[in-house]
Amino acid sequence: MTEGQVPLQIVKFGLDRGATDVVAKLIEYDTTMIRFSNNEITVSKNYREAVVDIFLMIEKQRADLIIPLASTRALESGVERLINMAKITPPADVYAPLPEGPFSYDPSIQASPKISTTPDRVVGYVEKAIEEAREMRAKKVAGSLIASKARIDLATSGNVSAFREKASLEISVRAFASDIASGHFVSIAENEDDFRPGEAGRMAGEIANASLSPAAGEAGRYTALLGPLVFADLVNQVGALSSAFMVDAGRSFLIGKKGLGVASDKFTLTDDPTFKGTYGARAFDDEGVPARRNVIVEKGVLRTYLHNSTTAKKFDEDTTGNAGLINPHPWNLVVEPGDGTFEELIAEIDDGVYVTNDWYLRYQNYQTGDFSTIPRDGMFRIKHGRIENPIRELRISDNMLRIFKNIRDLSRGRYWIKWWEVGIPTLTPYSVVEDLNFTKSTM
Amino acid sequence: MEELLEFCINLALDLGSEYAEARFQSDTGESMILKNGVPEASLFKEAKGISLRVLYKGSMGFASTNKTTKRDAASAVKRACKLAKAASRVLKKEVSMGEGELGSDKVVVKPRVKFDYVDLGSKIELMKEADERAVEAAKEAGAELPARMFTMGTLTTEKAVLTSDGADVTSVVPRAAFSAFLTAHDTQRGTVQRSFNLGESAGWEAVERWNLPELMCEESYSLAKTLKEAVSPSKGAMDIVLGPEVVGLVSHESSGHPGEADRILGREAAQAGETYLKMDSLGMRVGSDVLNVADDPTIDHSFGFYMYDDEGVKARKRILIKEGRINEFLQNRESASVFGVQSNGSSRASAYNREPIVRMANTFLEPGNFSKEELIEGVKDGVYIKNFMEWNIDDRRFNQRYVGLEAYRIENGELKERVRNPVLEMTTVGLWSAIDAVGKDLEFQAAYCGKSDPMQALPVWTGGPHARLRGVRLGGA
């Protein structure tokens, strides 16, 4: 038996032992990460692993097992353990049999182009990013480079036997022109041609240099220009909390909003794993259902929650191909662009703030959408249609629904964003949000 | 396993490394999710493997594998060395491993009640009982509890750490954990939400001690009361009493994180960020005289417990702030060599496939002499913030925001009505300097601290007694 046949074998064994439904997934990956700081490589890392994820149901009783790839006997023993776990797990409220295949998948998405992960190649990417940032007068540069290759073999009792191979490159670069003047940018790609470590370094360096000698920001409500990193963070919230599981758990500001306006009519968000050649493209979800393009928000109206077969049954809807066996989630978020250039968006703002990055987003209440997050890196006052001066130490303290409803404009140009703070790859423009609330420390 | 680790070390040295560290780690556990009273699924996870960390001409390489054959281990060693060599070509400043009290020991935390002694069905039944009590209690307070999510986890971590310069440490630590997320609802008043964690390095006896049905009853009742009764607090300058849950978080965010030596050196700059402190900040005043903050991995049964860190260095209590002044940074061997000090045993990795970096364990404000009642009695006009929901802090660890959940107005030394969402938004030094009195009622809460790339979430305790702040501005700017 080859390793690729392991999932099928597990499914068969699980059914023989009394499961009504079985999903088995073998994940093998080889990831190299180079971390750097102070213009130097701090550590070079490689992870090479093979993991088996088995999910089974005895109708409403569900159990999941994640273990290292092992011998056939050890895997069978794992399945037996899982059967016993499921048997003593009290039943859930719904039973949705796994979607019945076979399905056909787009072969051009099933396998992404080959990338090189040789040490010299990945170190070269890092050197390029540091060099470009320093050319923009950054004094010190930090970040991470990740080069990854993975193969996933999936089998289900719904007559699914499929594989996908994925390669990806990503770099996150933070440049410092002083202790309190920094900029951040990223590049992510599925192939080497689209990977731009130098551009990420240059943009981070540019922002850092522009943010030298920042003045203290003043709390208040401003028209805000949100850079791609910030807007991707907010869009990730919409994507992740459109999961039907999160809605059911009370952890979403989208509860009860299907068919209703949740954003400005300028805002359309799709989850598009069929977007060929992109970082988040994928052929199928964790139940083997072909991944598909879903419009989550169309011109401001919430069109769908994201489902696996279980949440779909509970909501009396169809799966959207977003399994997550427990929690459905988006794969590849795409925000429709606007018309203006970056310069045109700035020119339209009379009295505002341009925020280039943020982190540490926390909710006061997921259902109302009240939250705050902290701008980091370059932040600038905009007056009379032009960037006036860098500022610092403000916090965005507002409400998700209010922010999305207050989107006034989006840029034509878009960037793919994913980094430490933004987990779901997102193609996003710059966004202009009216009346955004900024607060600051009082002492 | 020790033989395999030794083989790895020797191979790394043969390949030219000046330092090698081999670690085996196995994390085995089960967890259960109960959503709105319904079991979602039972989960079992076993993550085990080995990692190698090497220094080659001052360049650090790391590789891991979850296949523990000699061949796979050798491959991991070679990959770590190859990566380190490639990076060494462009390295100007070499990494070295500083001094530390290296251990040769075996640490085993024995559970009084093994996790296996309690069957899965009973564990879920306990969660269901807690869920039912929570719903009843909210109802008693006049509200619904339409959304609840509980997760219970049991985990056993086995580690073996071997280094080329003599550390040889193994450990076995069981951990029990529980997390709850509650939403209380009222047609007129909307919703409020509460999230919290419990965790200990212990067996099932910890879960028994938590008395989840009773705890969830209290939590839900209070949450519903907050929803039904809390009024907007007045804003402006006043005195604030913070409960242990808030004090613990502040200690973690505004003392522990800024005192991590790798942040000071900029190693985390692109992810978890830097710190307002510098290498020469020892002795700097950051708070009032009554302020003493410590981090101690050696507290029995604590969630962040360990006796040796993941570089094999013996753990000890660290006094981060002493009488209001920065006293000590958290150091691993890598940072210690730059600072010219000994490692104080702060190196932790969340799994076999993660590099050990500088981390907290159990960070807390040291207790003082006041009772909670005395602290409140000393306030003429103020607010008592018992716990929180929203919080965050900037990446230099200087500007933070805590939004209270269960909170009360204080008038002439007495607790009055509940207030809703009081906002404390202030600087680290401003907050620490405003503390004039510290309680004697030290309590700990469990949390998962996130740092590094890839993200490493580590179990920690955050803790403290009640503390009183004088003349701070409530409501933010």
Distance from C-alpha of A374 to C-alpha of A394, rounded to nearest angstrom: 7
Distance from C-alpha of B470 to C-alpha of B434, rounded to nearest angstrom: 5
Which pLDDT does position A49 carry in this prediction? Answer: 95
Find the residue in B nearest to A42 (Cα). B60
Name the residue among A127, A117, A129 with its Cα closest to residue A167.
A117
Listed in sequence order, the residues at least 6 apart from A100 whose beta carbon sits closer than 8 Å to its beta carbon are A158, A159
Distance from C-alpha of B430 to C-alpha of B424, rounded to nearest angstrom: 11
Among residues of chain A, what percentage have pLDDT more than 70?
A: 100
Find the residue in A nearest to B263 (Cα). A37
Distance from C-alpha of A326 to C-alpha of A55, rounded to nearest angstrom: 10
Q: How many CB pairs under 8 A join A and B?
A: 273
CB contact under 8 A, A46 and B472: no
Residue for token pair 């998948």: A105
Listed in sequence order, the residues at least 6 apart from B127 whose beta carbon sits closer than 8 Å to its beta carbon are B32, B34, B150, B152, B212
Does the pLDDT at position A112 exceed 90? no
Does the pLDDT at position A90 exceed 70? yes
Task: Calculate mean pLDDT across residues A14-20.
Answer: 98
Distance from C-alpha of B365 to C-alpha of A267, rounded to nearest angstrom: 46
Instruction: Render pLDDT for B248-296 as a digit per residue (tens, 0 to 9).
Output: 999 999 999 999 999 999 999 999 999 999 999 999 999 999 999 999 9
Does the pLDDT at position B477 exceed 80? no
Q: Which of B48, B227, B399 would you mutate first to test chain A, the one with the most A CBs within 10 A?
A: B399
- Helix axis angle for B120-140 and B212-229, nearest 10°, is 30
CB contact under 8 A, A144 and B453: yes
B404, B260 Cβ separation under 8 angstroms: no
CB contact under 8 A, B273 and A373: no
Residue in B82, B390, B425 closest to A119 by CB: B82
Residue in B60, B65, B392 closest to A43 by CB: B60
Q: Which residues of A touch B83 (CB under 8 A)?
A: 32, 34, 44-46, 119
Confidence class of residue A125 from pLDDT cuts 50, 70 and 90?
A: very high
CB contact under 8 A, A363 and B35: no
Which pLDDT does position A45 carry in this prediction? Answer: 97
Alpha helices of A211-361 — where are they, by DSSP H?
228-240, 244-248, 309-314, 342-347
CA distances from residue A74 to A48, A52, A80, A111, B233 in whole angstroms, order as listed:
20, 11, 10, 30, 60
Give how far A383 is from chain B: nearest CA, Å: 22
SS (H, E, C) B177-214: EEEEEEEEEECCCEEEEEEEEEEECCCCHHHHHHCHHH
Name the residue among A143, A140, A138, A141 with its Cα closest to residue A210.
A138
Which pLDDT does position A2 carry in this prediction? Answer: 75
Q: Which residues of B touch A367 (CB under 8 A)?
A: 183, 191, 193
Find the residue in B nearest to A142 (Cα). B270
Task: Calculate mean pLDDT across residues A170-185.
Answer: 98
Residue in B42, B62, B63 closest to A85 by CB: B42
CB contact under 8 A, A42 and B41: no
Find the residue in A nearest to B78 (Cα). A46
CB contact under 8 A, B41 and A63: yes
Q: Which residues of B touch A116 (CB under 8 A)?
A: none
Find the residue in A nearest to B84 (Cα). A44
- Compute the 3-state secondary structure of chain A and give helix, strand, coil in percent, each to the nearest 5: 25, 40, 35
CA distances from residue A292 to A30, A106, A319, A323 in whole angstroms, order as listed:
27, 11, 10, 12
Torsion of CA A260, A262, A265, A270, to 10 degrees: -100
Which pLDDT does position B475 carry in this prediction? Answer: 87
Task: Calculate mean pLDDT across residues A283-296.
Answer: 98
Residue in A82, A250, A395 closest to B401 by CB: A395
A262, A404 Cβ separation under 8 angstroms: yes
CB contact under 8 A, A120 and B86: yes
Give how far B384 is from chain A: nearest CA, Å: 18
SS3 at position B42: strand
Distance from C-alpha of B399 to C-alpha of B427, rounded to nearest angstrom: 4
Q: Max CA-CA distance within chain A?
A: 72
Does the pLDDT at position A4 exceed 80? no
Name the residue among B401, B398, B409, B350 with its Cα closest to residue B376.
B409
Distance from C-alpha of B228 to C-alpha of A376, rounded to nearest angstrom: 37
Q: Which amino acid is at A216?
A: A
Q: Which of B120, B455, B456 would you mutate first to test chain A, the one with the most A CBs within 10 A?
A: B120
Alpha helices of A197-324 — where are they, by DSSP H?
197-210, 228-240, 244-248, 309-314
Name the residue among B437, B458, B439, B456 with its Cα closest to residue B447.
B458
Q: Which residues of B touch A373 (CB under 8 A)?
A: 392
Q: Which residues of B touch A439 (CB under 8 A)?
A: 401, 423, 425, 476-477
Ordered structural domains, chain A, with CATH: 3-209 (3.30.2290.10), 217-439 (no CATH)
Tokens at residue A375, please?
Answer: 């701008």
Instruction: Render pLDDT for B371-424 as a digit per residue (tens, 0 to 9).
Output: 999 999 999 999 999 999 999 999 999 999 999 999 999 999 999 999 999 999
What is the residue-averaged pLDDT of chain B?
97
Q: Which of B23, B30, B38, B40 would you mutate first to test chain A, the one with the most A CBs within 10 A?
A: B40
Distance from C-alpha of B151 to C-alpha of B435, rounded to nearest angstrom: 35
Residue in A33, A40, A85 closest to B93 by CB: A40
Distance from C-alpha of B444 to C-alpha of B204, rounded to nearest angstrom: 18
Does the pLDDT at position A443 exceed 90? no
CB contact under 8 A, B454 and A366: no
Distance from C-alpha of B377 to C-alpha of B371, rounded to nearest angstrom: 10
Confidence class of residue A356 from pLDDT cuts 50, 70 and 90?
A: very high
- Parts of chain B belonging to CATH 3.30.160: 2-27+45-99
Task: Calculate mean pLDDT across residues B135-139.
Answer: 98
CB contact under 8 A, B64 and A91: no
Distance from C-alpha of A426 to C-alpha of A422, rounded to nearest angstrom: 8
Confidence class of residue B1 from pLDDT cuts 50, 70 and 90?
A: confident
| Residues comprising chain B, all counted | 477
Q: Which amino acid is at B352?
A: Y
Q: Which residue(s) pair with B183 in the sheet?
A: B147, B193
Q: Which residues of A touch B355 (CB under 8 A)?
A: 43, 45
Does the pLDDT at position A290 exceed 70? yes
Give how far A256 is from chain B: nearest CA, Å: 14
β B59-65/A40-58 pair status:
parallel
CA distances from residue B284 to A212, B281, B326 in whole angstroms, order as listed:
26, 5, 5
What is the residue-averaged pLDDT of chain A?
97
Task: Calculate mean pLDDT across residues A11-36.
Answer: 97
Which pLDDT does position A167 carry in this prediction? Answer: 96
Residue for token pair 């990831």: A31
Alpha helices of B340-463 — where are they, by DSSP H?
372-377, 428-434
Peptide bond between residue B258 and the one before it cis (omega within 30 degrees of 0): no
CB contact under 8 A, B60 and A44: yes
> Phi/psi at B125 (nearest 5 deg)?
-60, -40
Which string of DSSP letters, residue by residue, matches B132-155? HHHHHHHHHTT-EEEEEEEEEEEE
Give how far A262 is from chain B: nearest CA, Å: 18
Residue for token pair 């959207």: A320
Q: How many Cβ atoms sit within 10 Å of the Cβ of residue B172?
A: 15
Does the pLDDT at position A39 exceed 90? yes
Q: Which residues of B touch A179 (CB under 8 A)?
A: 274
Confidence class of residue A1 from pLDDT cuts 50, 70 and 90?
A: low
| Residues comprising chain A, all counted | 443
CB contact under 8 A, B399 and A88: no
Task: Calculate mean pLDDT across residues A119-136.
Answer: 97
Instruction: Render pLDDT for A193-223 as a digit per residue (tens, 0 to 9).
Output: 999 999 999 999 999 999 999 999 999 999 9
β A215-216/A386-392 pair status:
parallel
Residue in B84, B92, B193 closest to A40 by CB: B92
The CATH code of domain B2-27+45-99 reads 3.30.160
Q: Which of A127, A365, A377 would you mutate first to test chain B, the one with the most B CBs within 10 A?
A: A365
Q: Which residues of A touch B473 (CB under 8 A)?
A: 442-443
Terminus-to-terminus CA distance in chain B, angstroms? 57
